[in-house]
Amino acid sequence: MIDLKGKVAVVFGLANKRSIAYSVAQKLAEAGATLVLSYQSERLQREAEELLEDLGQSGTGCAFRCDVSRDEEIDAVFAQIAEAFSRIDILIHSVAFAPADALKNDFLLTSREDFRIAHDISVYSLIALARAAAPLMSDGGAILTLTYYGGEKVFPNYNVMGVAKAALESAVRYLAASLGARNIRVNAVSAGPIRTLAARGIGDFNQILDAVTLRAPLHRNIEQIEVGNTALFLCSPLASGITGEVTFVDCGFNITGI
């Protein structure tokens, strides 16, 4: 049994119950961790407080607003966290965004601004959050981000997000090297496709899910909670020797050739 009692986990990217971050938060909370949730905008505040309650954290955990594209909001949220808790142990980064057009148009037409936004929110934010979290990880720590196989192979319409995921996976390795001496581990889970808010409006999503059922060794799609279980493992002492890695939770889809 993994015991995270007395540990503090900060989770970015929990928008609703379907978010991948929700299943990660659920597993961390079940293991005894205290949760700090960070939501993107004022609009999501009530939702975040309800989610804390659903996660059994209404007395212990807390929720703060932070748009990760703004340095001053990152500084402010970690100042609030430092005030509420003397130390943090776990940081979950489950954030990605690219302007909708960039996920629709021909990749060749990717604009400089859409490229910048995708990389700012989906990649740079991990570096900025890791830098802000590290001084609070006085007893070592674990940082985990979410990636997708589209960072390695071409999926129609994933486009600039694929380029951003490749950069994110590289950032995981460079951060792992940078933070290793402080006993802070940095890893990624590469999740198979899941119907979340971030998958809404993406044409052909069924086709992507069907391809997994057909081709993946396990002949099914992943369940959210399977990502939560792997995230819990990677953030726990059981994974004390693992850093800079990308772990696939994809029913084996990535190993197949045809």
Please pick, from the candidates 10, 13, 114, 234, the single residue that binds ligand NAD as defined by CB under 6 A: 13
Enumerate the active-site residues.
148, 158
Residue selected from 4, 8, 9, 19 as contacting ligand NAD according to rule CB under 6 A = 19
Q: Please tell me whether residue 64 binds ligand 0WE under the rule CB under 6 A.
A: no
Site string for ligand 0WE, 171-200 (x = CB under 6 A): ----------------------x----xx-
**Among the listed residues 12, 158, 248, 253, the single contact to ligand 0WE using CB under 6 A:** 158
Angle separating helix axes 125-133 and 71-84, nearest 10 degrees: 30
- In sequence order, what E strands does the chain have? 8-12, 34-39, 62-65, 90-93, 141-147, 184-191, 246-249
Residue 67's binding partner out of ligand 0WE, ligand NAD, none, with CB under 5 to 8 Å set by partner kind: ligand NAD
In order, the DSSP letters of 63-108 are: EEE--TT-HHHHHHHHHHHHHH-S---EEEE------GGGGTS-GG
Q: What is the rounded CA–CA span in Å between residue 141 and residue 89? A: 5
- Contact between 157 and ligand 0WE per CB under 6 A: yes
Binding stretches for ligand 0WE (CB under 6 A)? 96-98, 100, 103, 148, 155, 157-158, 161, 193, 198-199, 201-202, 208
